[in-house]
């Protein structure tokens, strides 16, 4: 790919290793895990043994200390083959809060098992009445001596029934001066009394990824399980999303790449009216547009990741732009790819049909496309700090 010319030799090796692993191992699990909606524990263990899990966790906490771009190159290759199985990379989802805001004791206790593939994490933010509106959460965490008592329900939680740790956003101030204030983040261990997780089934896509409703009923956690500062939960969560939107952009690029490759090879081999499908001008135009959009999307995703690695923190506007654009491109490319396949692509066991279903989530989780556009707009107007706000005045104005 054109963007790969920007990578170092080490990054190219990471990308190739991830591609070889996905192409070799994923076909053994794809159909079964999609059909039965089950998490591929065996595949996850194999990936952990090869160092693909917890890559960005620092070495002192059991990880490899790699940059976000290095990690996302693996995400891209995994999603190129199968998005649902590619979600094994999200087994550490939520640990970013510990890494960015946790104290040393929390990092030493909880990060190594995640980095070594011995534990799974879940981030609990979304609620039945608070999805994109994080400030609307109702889950409470009331202080009682040296403990916090958590009550509330979280919805659509990735890894919900298989997690060992839950990262939970809750209200510690029931009457804050502003609705986004008075929130805090806590770590809750799986076996804590009062934690109940119910698996959600019949998802449209990424069916190998575990999704659940998680209920907290009078769950007591020690004050030591507070991550960061009390009352700063909203700001911590916004920073968390700024980071995690970058891997989603690479999920989109990977899926779009896989769909394009399937469509291109199908068109080269499929005959129609005694001609190869790829010889028709309409097919060539489709493929030309798909490849152009794909390369533009990949470069934007790389830019967002490169910025975080260089500066040490993500740019909100740039990450929102990358996620919005790559997700949109993935929708378009997989749509045209299935169109090239025609009736064969409509059949359920085809990889392209699974990609078609998987693609839809990319414009929903980690911020809907509407939320991403709002962040981009606020970045342009200076309401959100971003390089996008550096718009020069035109000389004719």
Residues, the chain? 397
Q: What is the CA radius of gyration of the chain?
A: 22
Query: Residue 159: left (phi > 0), alpha (psi -120 to 50), or beta?
Result: left
Q: Which two tokens stand for residue 248?
A: 């989603």
Sequence-distant (6+) residues with CB within 8 A of 161 are: 197, 198, 199, 210, 212
64, 57 Cβ separation under 8 angstroms: yes
62, 116 Cβ separation under 8 angstroms: yes
Sequence-distant (6+) residues with CB within 8 A of 330 are: 252, 253, 255, 256, 259, 297, 359, 362
Is residue 271 among the annotated active site residues? no
Residue with tokens 């709002």: 374
Burial 242-254 (b: 16+ CB within 10 A, else e): bbbbbbbbbbbbb
Report the C-alpha gap between 252 and 75 in whole angstroms.
Answer: 10
Q: Would strands 121-124 and 165-171 be described as parallel, antiparallel, or unpaired? A: parallel
Residue tagged active-site, from 76, 293, 336, 366: 366
Q: Which two tokens stand for residue 317?
A: 């506007």
Looking at the chain, list the stretches that DSSP marks H as alpha helix, in order from N- to C-terminal side: 9-25, 30-36, 41-49, 68-81, 83-86, 95-101, 104-115, 233-269, 281-311, 316-341, 343-346, 351-359, 369-380
> How far does CA 149 lie from the centroid of its chain?
29
Widest Cα–Cα separation across the chain: 79
Report the C-alpha gap between 204 and 160 in whole angstroms.
Answer: 17
221, 147 Cβ separation under 8 angstroms: yes
Angstrom distances, CA of residue 76 to CA of 87, 165, 255, 257, 291? 11, 26, 8, 9, 16
Please list the active-site residues.
366
């Amino acid at each position: 790919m054109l963007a790969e010319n920007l990578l170092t030799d080490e990054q190219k090796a990471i990308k190739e290793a991830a591609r070889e692993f996905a192409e070799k191992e994923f076909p053994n699990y794809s159909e079964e895990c999609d059909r039965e909606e089950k998490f591929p524990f065996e595949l996850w263990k194999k990936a952990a043994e090869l160092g693909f899990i917890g890559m960005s966790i620092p070495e002192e906490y059991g990880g490899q200390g790699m940059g976000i771009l290095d990690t996302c190159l693996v995400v891209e290759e995994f999603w190129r083959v199968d998005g649902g199985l590619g979600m094994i990379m999200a087994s550490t989802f939520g640990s970013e809060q510990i890494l960015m805001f946790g104290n040393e004791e929390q990092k030493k206790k909880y990060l190594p098992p995640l980095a070594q593939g011995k534990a799974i994490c879940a981030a609990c933010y979304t609620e039945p009445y608070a999805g994109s509106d994080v400030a609307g959460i109702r889950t409470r965490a009331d202080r009682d001596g040296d403990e916090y008592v958590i009550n509330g329900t979280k919805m659509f939680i990735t890894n919900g029934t298989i997690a060992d740790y839950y990262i939970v956003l809750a209200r510690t101030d029931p009457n804050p001066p502003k609705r986004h204030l008075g929130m805090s983040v806590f770590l809750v261990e799986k076996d804590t009394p009062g934690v109940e997780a119910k698996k959600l089934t019949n998802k449209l896509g990424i069916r190998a990824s575990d999704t659940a409703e998680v209920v907290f009923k009078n769950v007591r956690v020690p004050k030591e399980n507070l991550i960061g500062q009390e009352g700063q939960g909203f700001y911590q969560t916004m920073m968390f999303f700024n980071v995690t939107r970058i891997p989603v952009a690479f999920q989109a690029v990977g899926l779009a790449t896989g769909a394009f490759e399937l469509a291109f090879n199908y068109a080269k081999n499929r005959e129609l009216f005694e001609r190869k499908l790829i010889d028709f001008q309409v097919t060539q135009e489709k493929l030309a547009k798909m490849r152009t959009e794909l390369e533009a999307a990949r470069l934007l995703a790389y830019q967002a990741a490169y910025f975080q690695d260089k500066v040490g923190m993500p740019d909100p506007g740039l990450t929102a732009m990358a996620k919005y654009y790559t997700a949109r491109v993935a929708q378009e490319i997989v749509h045209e790819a299935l169109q090239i396949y025609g009736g064969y692509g409509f059949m359920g066991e085809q990889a392209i049909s699974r990609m078609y279903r998987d693609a839809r989530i990319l414009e929903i989780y980690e911020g809907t496309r509407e939320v991403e556009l709002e962040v981009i707009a606020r970045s342009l107007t200076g309401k959100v700090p971003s390089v996008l706000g550096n718009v020069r005045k035109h000389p004719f104005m």
